Structure 1
Amino acid sequence: MKKFNTVLAIGAALLSAAPQAMAADLIYNFKGYGFEPDRSLVSFNTMLVENGKVLDRGNADLLKKYPDASRQDMQGKTILPGLIDAHGHFMGLGQSLLAVDVRDIRSEQQTVAKTLQFAEVHPELEWVTGRGWNQVLWPDKQFPSKTSLDEFISNRPVVLERIDGHAVWANSLALKKAGISKDTLDPPGGQLLRDASGEPTGVLIDNAMDILREHMPADTPQQLQQQFDAAQQHLLELGITSMHDAGTEKAAYDFYLDALEQRKFKMRIYAMLAGWDAQFKSMLDKGFITDPEDMLSIRSVKLVADGALGSRGAALLKPYDDDPHNNGLMVTSEKQLSELLPELVKRDYQVNIHAIGDKANHVALNQFAAVRDVSKARHLRHRIEHAQIIALEDIPRFKSLDIIASMQPTHATSDKNMAGDRIGEQRLAGAYAWQTLLKQGTLIAAGSDFPVELANPFYGIHAAVTRQDRDNQPPGGWRPQEKMTLEQALRAFTIDAAYAGYQEKVIGGLSKNQWADFVVIDRDIFAIPEQDLWKVQVLQTWVAGKQQYNKAL
């Protein structure tokens, strides 16, 4: 079989076009934290950077050791390795930054009002789009209806994604343009919510969303560029120097390759090919995408087993406590997964499966077990994305199968008031079980799932350490036995996230010969109360020894 390990000619072109060697720069007078290759935490206060990489690190003795290096005084600030978000949606973030944001609005009516306001300000938009609604926050906790949108916006199609991205709410014109009617059948792995007479209410869940999306206009090259620029700037301002793009579709894939060739990357992207994309095979057949400057890496595939807990699409072994006739949805069937995985493993691709419910996690683990003999020698570092609700008997299988748990701490603090209603207290024993997984030796790669959650990594570190929201609720933390230590949380957002993308030798620890990706912050996270971790402010963000963000003071 052909070896699928292609390095694009782009790489060679970039290497030949690389900037000339930069003079060594001695950065000093800071409180720095990093990791050794064995993942142990170290502190240092001086660092020599040359050609974008850490040449040496240590204490003030380096000032004497390198007397000819240029010097930069960091005035006692704190430096951390560049933060890595191990699960986000890069272009989705860009879209959300340029569309109506209806996050945290407390009623259906207020959500419609904000959408109308946005539509009036943007008469040029053919379709009005947005994201962030969450019916769990509304007084009646009921799903919305097309009727409320129709009352105020009937002359343009409107499509609003639920906060988790696993449901959309559309007005009647959008449904009409997509040909959705009473006669439209639910697709496998999807559901159209209906009223008592069988008419679609305007809410489409999981695979049913595709019926609508197929009729929405594709993003133009100009829109893709705007989304890329907006997302990149936003993440750099938050101290994120690298992210794992959890489901790169063909349009974004092509854009990334062009952006790499044109040297538009200011931060790093580890992209997972979207296994559901119509052109998935064409991306797969191109093989691995690598870059000598490590700005773009593509060697993994994202598959989706189930939906989300908030929209009751997460696949459960037993029915929902608050919907006893519903076990959720398998977005990709077990049979489809069993056909896909062996081929992907033969091609040496890392496979990352979205699994939120305990059934989806069980099925994902079964699939990884089935290909273990094929993949064992390759150490493909397979991952389960989210790993939110796990049956207790399945937790040890993460360790025995060497599966990385790619988890998002703020999901727990966002879901704490809803999860018990959905699945009951008994199943919460295996929910968001960070410390249980860590104690058995399972590696956790942390992220935010932006734009589902806010991208700020210090919100994630705070949630991981306290199990509280930013109002310090609940007292003592939600299921506090699963808290991470601060060192564990920092590791999950740096060196362990790097490992989950095969990049622990080049980023994540600020160790010798790694890229000098680091963030300068306004306080020492190891010297402040845990409840204040979310208040940390990013002052500067550096990628490969180059300052990419500087906060205006």
Structure 2
Amino acid sequence: MQLKPLLLLASLTSFAAGAAPVVLKNVQGYGFDQQRQLVNFQTLVFDDETGQVLARGDSSVAATYPQAKVLDGKGQTLLPGLIDGHGHLLGLGEYLKQADLRGLTSEATSAAQVAAFARANPEQQWVIGRGWNQVLWDSKAFPAKKTLDEVLPDKPVYLVRIDAHAAWVNSKALALAGITKDTIDPPGGEIIRDERGEPTGVLIDNAMYLVQQKIPAPSTADKRAALQSAFSHLQALGITAVHDAGVSTELVSLYQQLQQEQALGVRVYPMLSAKDPALEQWFSKGIVDDPSDWLDIRSVKIYGDGALGSRGAALLADYSDQAGQRGLLVTQPDALTEIMRLTINAGYQANVHAIGDRANRLVLDRFELLATPEQRAAGRHRIEHAQIVSPQDIPRFKTLQVLPAMQAVHATSDMNMAGDRLGVSRLRGAYAWRTFVDQGSIIVGGSDFPVELANPFHGLHASVTRQDQQNQPVGGWLPEQRLTLIEALRSFTIDAAYGAFQEQSMGTLAPGSWADFILVDRDIFAIPPEQLWQTTTEQTWIHGKLRFSR
């Protein structure tokens, strides 16, 4: 591996009077320069008052700071703090306190898990859970309300599918929502029905809201507690910043309160929800560019289609495993045009969820129509997920300067059903990281937690191997789309920072950037790639302060 030599640099302008330099020596450090080239170093110097990196280099750099506090890294590997470019903070905090159905292998086992959770939490009015995935079950079929009715007939149950684009509910929940065989499917949603037209208990995309709106809203105290749980969880995984995809004004206000209290546990780049009624008020005020980068507010999450696993991703042709089904547009085309136009013209970044090839084309068409070349260059607009893209549309991302914000773990999670849903030919444009990188697109990496586990080393592993954690399939799934480890690390550091206009201050550990870094238990560049997912974070530092230590 070729490493770009690092010149010994110090940011003298950041070393103000009263600064408190810290020298962290004896590390195997990796970072990037502003040309996105990998550099390595043995010593990192930072100011724990301003939170900035002062210098990095070999052991001799310490002599420049004779009064500094010296810490011994004991030979551990040091990496820039990892950035998750697409997650859901409040959803993660809530998920950590809900029934966890991830990885269960049958409908009956899932129902039994929910019943056990209900017995352990009798005070809860609703039984809420997440993570079921019928693709892992022998039946491969959507579940039924009857299975839940047998174990929990008297308490409403609401269980979100692993991709958050479908819900499984019992009869009690359907009754509270007033859903019957006569209920009309809402636009962008579907009530799954049996041969008699009766709701089966599965709701797709916008139909989920019919039940969701009946669930008692969490209090502000509940939300604060959930966020603190999420912050602690992420710090322990080495994540120092999150792009929070789709938040309300109410949640942004809570983030602002936490920032004032210096209680934000990670840096937050919130994408305002396109559904928020106060959105145009935000546009009238302009972007919020926080000099400390704890809370930059300048982007909007716009909703295009559903997800592949629930057959809600909008496709150009029928699903290969369900004739006549082409998915759902969560936002109808005219409304999509209008919200993208408003966002672009307000100078905000438009980050549009698009998974299917039809949804991706619709969004690209609108970026081409609505944004001038100058607006595209300045806006760094994004397509969130960009999972299934027609091969003829992939070059348009580069031409239109649209960033693909992609989650590597989705490929290894979806590989057991993507071929069934799409057929062989459409896989050529599916999860096509290598194709995007080779054309010069910058990939904003992330996990989409709590849809996937938040561990960023799972994403690095999936990027490099295209395998699950059992090293399957042999040779990797669609292995021609693998990334190198340097490319994968960029996607979780400097390239994710670029997707939030923060590459000058985050993701590199260059002098003058924020001292956000982690120490891990192994040198990720010296181990077999199949072991990457096993990497453990030992310490997490944000803004020059130790936030987590194992």
C-alpha distance in structure 1 between counterparts of 2:100 and 2:66, whole Å:
52
C-alpha distance in structure 2 between counterparts of 1:308 and 1:377, whole Å:
27
> Contact 1:448–1:454 at 8 Å: present in 2 too?
yes
Cα deviation per residue 1:428-454 (whole Å; 9 max; x = unaligned)?
Answer: 000000001100001101100000001
Alpha-carbon deviation of 1:372?
2.5
> Contact 2:376–2:401 at 8 Å: present in 1 too?
no
Query: Which residue is 2:305 aligned to?
Result: 306
C-alpha distance in structure 2 between counterparts of 1:266 and 1:404, whole Å:
27
> Contact 2:434–2:480 at 8 Å: present in 1 too?
yes
C-alpha RMSD of matched pairs (Å): 1.4
C-alpha distance in structure 2 between counterparts of 1:270 and 1:322, whole Å:
38
Task: Confirm whether residue 37 of structure 1 aligns to residue 63 of structure 2.
Answer: no
TM-score (norm 1): 0.95
> Contact 2:377–2:401 at 8 Å: present in 1 too?
no
> Contact 1:345–1:375 at 8 Å: present in 2 too?
no
Alpha-carbon deviation of 1:285?
4.2
C-alpha distance in structure 2 between counterparts of 1:179 and 1:206, whole Å:
17
Cα deviation per residue 1:117-168 (whole Å; 9 max; x = unaligned)?
Answer: 1111111111110100000001111001111111111221110000000000
Query: Which residue is 1:122 aligned to?
Result: 121
Task: Confirm whether residue 46 of structure 1 aligns to residue 46 of structure 2.
Answer: no
> Contact 1:356–1:386 at 8 Å: present in 2 too?
yes
User: What is the DSSP-based 3-state SS (H/G/I as helix, E as strand, rest coil) of the residue aligned with 1:293?
Assistant: coil
C-alpha distance in structure 2 between counterparts of 1:85 and 1:377, whole Å:
23
Report the more deviating stretch, 492-501 or 117-126: 117-126
Give, as a single letter, the amino acid of the residue that structure 1 aligns with 2:495.
D
User: What is the DSSP-based 3-state SS (H/G/I as helix, E as strand, rest coil) of the residue aligned with 2:74?
Assistant: coil
Give, as a single letter, the amino acid of the residue that structure 1 aligns with 2:54.
L
Give, as a single letter, the amino acid of the residue that structure 1 aligns with 2:32.
F
> Contact 1:346–1:374 at 8 Å: present in 2 too?
no
Query: Which residue is 1:520 aligned to?
Result: 519
Pairing of 1:254-403 with structure 2 (within 5 A): 254-373=253-372, 375-376=374-375, 379-403=378-402
C-alpha distance in structure 1 between counterparts of 2:62 and 2:18, whole Å:
21
C-alpha distance in structure 1 between counterparts of 2:187 and 2:361, whole Å:
20
C-alpha distance in structure 2 between counterparts of 1:227 and 1:21, whole Å:
37
C-alpha distance in structure 1 between counterparts of 2:406 and 2:373, whole Å:
26
C-alpha distance in structure 1 between counterparts of 2:18 and 2:158, whole Å:
50
C-alpha distance in structure 1 between counterparts of 2:476 and 2:94, whole Å:
33
Query: Which residue is 1:27 aligned to?
Result: 24
Alpha-carbon deviation of 1:344?
1.2
Cα deviation per residue 1:382-401 (whole Å; 9 max; x = unaligned)?
Answer: 00000000001101101100
User: What is the DSSP-based 3-state SS (H/G/I as helix, E as strand, rest coil) of the residue aligned with 1:526?
Assistant: coil
C-alpha distance in structure 2 between counterparts of 1:547 and 1:430, whole Å:
42
C-alpha distance in structure 1 between counterparts of 2:275 and 2:388, whole Å:
23
Give, as a single letter, the amino acid of the residue that structure 1 aligns with 2:526.
A
User: What is the DSSP-based 3-state SS (H/G/I as helix, E as strand, rest coil) of the residue aligned with 2:172?
Assistant: helix
Pairing of 1:228-247 with structure 2 (within 5 A): 228-247=227-246
Give, as a single letter, the amino acid of the residue that structure 1 aligns with 2:363.
A
> Per the alignment, do residues 21 and 93 of structure 1 end up closer, same or farther by CA in structure 2, a change over 3 Å counting?
farther
Alpha-carbon deviation of 1:286?
4.4
C-alpha distance in structure 2 between counterparts of 1:118 and 1:20, whole Å:
56
Cα deviation per residue 1:225-262 (whole Å; 9 max; x = unaligned)?
Answer: 11101100000000000010011123322211221122
Query: Which residue is 1:5 aligned to?
Result: none
Unaligned runs of 5+ in 1: 1-18
User: What is the DSSP-based 3-state SS (H/G/I as helix, E as strand, rest coil) of the residue aligned with 1:318?
Assistant: coil
Alpha-carbon deviation of 1:114?
0.6
Alpha-carbon deviation of 1:288?
2.3
Alpha-carbon deviation of 1:290?
3.5
Give, as a single letter, the amino acid of the residue that structure 2 aligns with 1:367.
R
Pairing of 1:30-179 with structure 2 (within 5 A): 30-50=27-47, 51-179=50-178
C-alpha distance in structure 2 between counterparts of 1:374 and 1:420, whole Å:
36
C-alpha distance in structure 1 between counterparts of 2:494 and 2:488, whole Å:
10
Cα deviation per residue 1:319-373 (whole Å; 9 max; x = unaligned)?
Answer: 0000011000011111111111222111100000000000000001001101221
> Per the alignment, do residues 128 and 111 of structure 1 end up closer, same or farther by CA in structure 2, a change over 3 Å counting?
same
Query: Structure 1 stretches (4+) deviating beyond 4 angstroms?
Result: 19-22, 282-286
C-alpha distance in structure 2 between counterparts of 1:278 and 1:106, whole Å:
40
Query: Which residue is 1:465 aligned to?
Result: 464
Cα deviation per residue 1:205-241 (whole Å; 9 max; x = unaligned)?
Answer: 0011111112211111121011101100000000000
C-alpha distance in structure 2 between counterparts of 1:530 and 1:56, whole Å:
30
> Per the alignment, do residues 368 and 437 of structure 1 end up closer, same or farther by CA in structure 2, a change over 3 Å counting?
same
Query: Which residue is 2:539 aligned to?
Result: 540
Report the more deviating stretch, 366-375 or 305-314: 366-375
User: What is the DSSP-based 3-state SS (H/G/I as helix, E as strand, rest coil) of the residue aligned with 1:208?
Assistant: helix
Alpha-carbon deviation of 1:297?
1.2
C-alpha distance in structure 1 between counterparts of 2:465 and 2:324, whole Å:
35
Query: Which residue is 2:5 aligned to?
Result: none
Pairing of 1:406-421 with structure 2 (within 5 A): 406-421=405-420
User: What is the DSSP-based 3-state SS (H/G/I as helix, E as strand, rest coil) of the residue aligned with 2:250?
Assistant: helix
> Per the alignment, do residues 57 and 122 of structure 1 end up closer, same or farther by CA in structure 2, a change over 3 Å counting?
same
Over the matched positions of the two proteins, sequence identity in percent amounts to 50
Query: Which residue is 1:6 aligned to?
Result: none
Alpha-carbon deviation of 1:280?
3.5
C-alpha distance in structure 2 between counterparts of 1:228 and 1:252, whole Å:
10
C-alpha distance in structure 2 between counterparts of 1:148 and 1:361, whole Å:
36
> Contact 1:507–1:515 at 8 Å: present in 2 too?
yes
Alpha-carbon deviation of 1:83?
0.2
Alpha-carbon deviation of 1:281?
3.5
Task: Confirm whether residue 181 of structure 1 aligns to residue 187 of structure 2.
Answer: no
Give, as a single letter, the amino acid of the residue that structure 1 aligns with 2:24.
I
Give, as a single letter, the amino acid of the residue that structure 1 aligns with 2:230.
A
> Contact 1:345–1:374 at 8 Å: present in 2 too?
no
Task: Confirm whether residue 441 of structure 1 aligns to residue 413 of structure 2.
Answer: no
Give, as a single letter, the amino acid of the residue that structure 2 aligns with 1:30.
V
Question: Alignment length, in residue pairs?
Answer: 533
Give, as a single letter, the amino acid of the residue that structure 2 aligns with 1:415.
D
> Per the alignment, do residues 384 and 54 of structure 1 end up closer, same or farther by CA in structure 2, a change over 3 Å counting?
same
